[in-house]
Amino acid sequence: MSLNIVEATHKKAKPESEKIPFGRTFTDHMLVMDYEENKGWHEPRIVPYEPLTLDPAAMIFHYGQTVFEGLKAYRTDDGRVLLFRPEKNFERLNLSSDRLSIPPVDEREVLGYLKELVQLEKNWVPSYEGTSLYIRPFIIATEPSLAVAPSKSYKLMIILSPVGPYFSGGVKPVTINVEDKFTRAVKGGTGMAKTAGNYSSGYQAQAKAVEEGNNDVLWLDGVEKRYIEEVGSMNIFFKINGEIVTPALSGSILQGITRTSILELLRKWEIPVSERRISIDELYQAYEDGKLEEAFGTGTAAVISPVGEFNWLGKKMVINDHEIGALSQELYDTITGIQRGRKEDSYGWTVEV
């Protein structure tokens, strides 16, 4: 399909420092593409960023038929722009869409359009340390109908937002509350999909955790409230007695692209690693035995977010004296080094725009 480009006549001012609040500034253009039952996905176009007009009965507003993705474009020291494993995001977009009964897109084709969009907005990719251009592809159901059934029409859009460093002044370990009342997802539900309801249903637990002095929530499984799943918008890893453990993909957690990359690095480095069920009791026991050496969350936003403390039913687990661990630091430096073009990408993870 040919991509139509309509250039914005009015260009917005770009942020002039690295202090850019997350997800509040958007670039001059966006990608839009429509789906209709008898036409499939059609009319890909890059147009000036502008509000949408939707019928109040559009199905997205009523039953939440929507999916999204999150990835970043990074500026290298020599001025190039790199994407990190973007094909994995479109693969996961289709996985999420499948779960939400949304028709799949042609992954390669949409990645091609994204590259065109980022190319057009190249000057929006900031270069300050730790900054990047956040990319948000998403699909919404647009059919005006209150029927409880999959929509017959959809809109795919990609918007871009320059973002500041996740950690200002160096990586800082976070404090996490182990949630014992609310549940994020259950096997057979939508936990493995990146869809809106998974996030808004976590707000209450998140607010409670923050009120009690934590930064985020660690979710346990929805049935027994025993097995560790993931953190707010990150997967979780532990270093226990020299071995790296992360919860296996059970159907209720997101298959993070950072998670996959960390696992690949650890295996390459021949560090013992296992993807398995791990209960909160086992974690606490490891802590009491002095074997819980490091813990870190992984995700596009922070890359590696070391955990300095877990709070669980009034008990505290302080990890590595609230300092980032050596392995967490090495993983952080390796991934950010590849993303910024400072370390050799021997894995073929980066895609130049």
Tell me whether residue 8 or residue 266 sits nearer to ligand PLP (CB atom).
266
Q: Which of 28, 179, 230, 309 binds ligand PLP (CB under 6 A)?
A: 230
Determine if 235 is a binding residue for ligand PLP (CB under 6 A): yes
Determine if 302 is a binding residue for ligand PLP (CB under 6 A): no
Q: Which of 130, 299, 308, 341 binds ligand PLP (CB under 6 A)?
A: 299
Smallest distance from the beta carbon of 333 to ligand PLP, in angstroms? 17
The two structure tokens encoding residue 203: 């707000």
Determine if 70 is a binding residue for ligand PLP (CB under 6 A): yes
Site string for ligand PLP, 243-282 (x = CB under 6 A): -----------x-xxxx-----------------------
Q: Which residue of this chain has its Cβ atom nearest to ligand PLP in the complex?
A: 256
Identity of residue 272: P
Q: Which stretch binds ligand PLP (CB under 6 A): 9-17, 33-41, 117-125, 294-302?
A: 294-302
Determine if 161 is a binding residue for ligand PLP (CB under 6 A): no
Tell me whether residue 32 or residue 257 sits nearer to ligand PLP (CB atom).
257
Tell me whether residue 153 or residue 201 sits nearer to ligand PLP (CB atom).
201
Determine if 132 is a binding residue for ligand PLP (CB under 6 A): no
Q: Which of 234, 319, 331, 338 binds ligand PLP (CB under 6 A)?
A: 234
Q: Which stretch binds ligand PLP (CB under 6 A): 49-57, 59-67, 125-133, 298-306?
A: 298-306
Tell me whether residue 44 or residue 256 sits nearer to ligand PLP (CB atom).
256
Residues of this chain that bind ligand PLP (CB under 6 A): 70, 230, 233-235, 254, 256-259, 298-300
